[in-house]
Amino acid sequence: MRRLCVPALVLLSSCAQTTKLPSVFTTDWLNDGGHSIGEVERSLRTAPAPPSANVAVGVTETSLIGAPLEGGARWVQPAVPDTLPAIAGEFVLYSSRGKLNALDAKTGTPRWSVDVGAFWLRGAGDDGTTTVATLGTSDRTKSLLLTVSHDGSVQQRIETKLGLGRPAARGGIAFVPWAGQYVSAIDMRSGDEQGRLLTRELVSYAMTVGGELFFGEKSMLHFDESVRYASTNQGIRTTLPERVLPGRPRWLGTGTELPVIDSGAHAQVRIYAAPAWNGSQTHFASDRFVGTYFRTVMGFSAQNGELGWVRAMPSPILGGNPAGSGFVLCAADGKAHFFGEKGGPAGGVDLGAPLRACVVEASRMKLPPGSDLGPLSAQLDQALQDLDPEMAASQAFLVSELGRLPDPAVTKTLISLTTSSRIPPDVRTRARDLLAQRRSGADLMLAALEKRYDFLSGELLPPPVGPLSDALAAMGERRAAPLLTRHLNDPSTDSVDVARAAVALKTLAGPAELPGLRTFFALYRATADEPALVEAVVAVANAVLRVGGADGRTFIDRAARDPLTQPEVARELLALTAPVSEPAARGPSSR
């Protein structure tokens, strides 16, 4: 028999006994074809949407700091939470030292506290009168389901060895995911299971977003009249497009895991997205999702995964939440930044202290568009300039995205990346590869070839002669010939790049380049000691034969027969200068 504890104070310890109800979380349940969850959905159609407080809550070494996102005073509450706090309705919940505590989300005022022993908070929901929370032990052997009225009285306390996911609440019903495929609809006062959802996709989250209920993990199922058909994959779902992002971030992760406080890579490499409902189908708020990699923030289309905007922030991002339009992201320096749908800055709040972690609720906010960030090519250029060398994974991704754009300005950025000593070698290599594939920005390429290596400062590397040679040759840009000829004889030009320049000159060189070509050939035809230089000498010989006339042919022919010529070069030259045999005269055909 259950014994409910009626408290005399708002701050209290629970005296409710542990109760296990056989009808809840049992695996011998028979699939009812969606009947019971359909009845629950029908009964809740007129239930008011749960309340929501738009707030950012930061975790420091000694306290929680809250900042209302739509105006209001910042608050501070001394606390050392076991796991990340949860924002449920108008409460901030956290477990610490054997208690589950609820604070007013707008003011930080303590509202209630109940004993939970060795259980740590996993997730929570609220319907406006009652809070539901799931908790787990650090060894993952047990879970606890709590329902607590707003006066602090415990309605239900159910322990189980099953892993319970993150819950939600509406109209007196708690929705609790468990076993990866079920969501139990539990009366928060009686503890009875009113219905059960069976899905054929992974489900460990029940969430309220903008007043609407969703269930899932990798994809999200909307709670509407079609939910009764979820067991046959006929419910209304939405999922994010696949994209391989820096650090391979996850969107939600596993809802049965305890949300440990982690200010390292796991917290700073994330995907932020929120399902939304337009009255007939699900989609994602702002039709976008955000990926973060430490200080890099990237906005993607939720339709096809294309990069739409990018920004490099002053401090790593630790947490955030999509708004009804736009995003709110919280950084390690204590700043919560507002982003419009297209990434433009749209304001923000300051929590006033460096943070270990941060959670945000903003699903009912409508942020302004924010200021214009300009073309994506310019955004990528700026972000690559602002990122430090240790952001190599992020830089490599952004460079690849840059190379996909047809904007001629991209050429300038790629050249800059290949000549900066601050850029990691792998990123420079990727930029060189993309530059070789460009077919626009010829004037920018020619200007780069005009520059010489800065030996004194060492800040600029030699121009990317090889990639520029490939691109300019493919474009048939004969203005490049004198510049490439000069780089043939420049000692700062790498031998591989020399070979690529020589190959380009096979088609681009004219009579004006003949002296330079002959100089290079004379210097290296006897000393070519690596494959790249052999290739370069032979390519230059081809150019001399093409533009040098009879004198050019005599020049190359003599070199081919000179015993001082490097043997491999000599063999190639003999093949070049060998007379072309006339085809044999045909006799009369016979039948």
Per-residue model confidence as pLDDT tens digits over 141-183: 999 999 999 999 999 999 999 999 999 999 999 999 999 999 9
If one counts every other C-beta atom within 10 angstroms of the C-beta of residue 279, the result is 5
How high does pLDDT run on average in the chain? Answer: 91
User: Is the model's pTM score more than 0.85?
Assistant: yes
Residue 458, pLDDT score: 52
Identify the residue with better confidence: 381 or 454: 381
- Position 390 confidence tier, pLDDT thresholds 50, 70, 90: confident
SS3 content of the chain, % helix, strand, coil (to 5): 30, 30, 45
**What separation, in Å, do the N-terminal and C-terminal C-alpha atoms of the chain show?**
110
For residue 205, which phi and psi values (nearest 5 degrees)? -130, 135
For residue 567, which phi and psi values (nearest 5 degrees)? -55, -45
> How do residues 42-85 score in pLDDT, each as one tens digit?
999 999 988 899 999 999 999 999 999 999 999 999 999 999 99
For residue 381, which phi and psi values (nearest 5 degrees)? -60, -50
Residue 74, token pair as written in the block: 């910042």
Residue 55, token pair as written in the block: 């707030």
For the ranges 164-178, 304-318, 520-534, 571-585, the lowest mean pLDDT is seen at 571-585
Q: Are 337 and 348 in contact (CB under 8 A)?
A: yes
How far is 266 from 268, CA to CA, in rounded Å?
6
For residue 318, which phi and psi values (nearest 5 degrees)? -110, -25
Q: For residue 316, is pLDDT > 90?
A: yes
Residue 580, pLDDT score: 54
Hey, which residues does 64 pair with through a beta bridge? 59, 77
Question: Percentage of the chain surpassing pLDDT 70?
Answer: 93
Q: For residue 253, is pLDDT > 50?
A: yes
For residue 267, which phi and psi values (nearest 5 degrees)? -75, -25
> How do residues 110-124 score in pLDDT, each as one tens digit?
999 999 999 999 999
User: Which CATH number does the domain 35-56+77-239 belong to among 3.40.50.300, 3.40.50.20, 2.40.128.630, 3.40.50.1820?
Assistant: 2.40.128.630
Q: What is the CA radius of gyration of the chain?
A: 34
Q: For residue 8, is pLDDT > 80?
A: no
How far is the CA of 540 from the CAs of 167, 264, 572, 577, in angstroms? 72, 54, 12, 13
- Position 456 confidence tier, pLDDT thresholds 50, 70, 90: low
Q: Where are the domains of the chain?
A: 35-56+77-239, 480-578
DSSP 232: G
How far is 326 from 363, CA to CA, in rounded Å?
10
How far is 354 from 335, CA to CA, in rounded Å?
9
Q: Are 539 and 505 in contact (CB under 8 A)?
A: yes
- Name the one residue in this structure whose structure tokens are 């990122």: 387
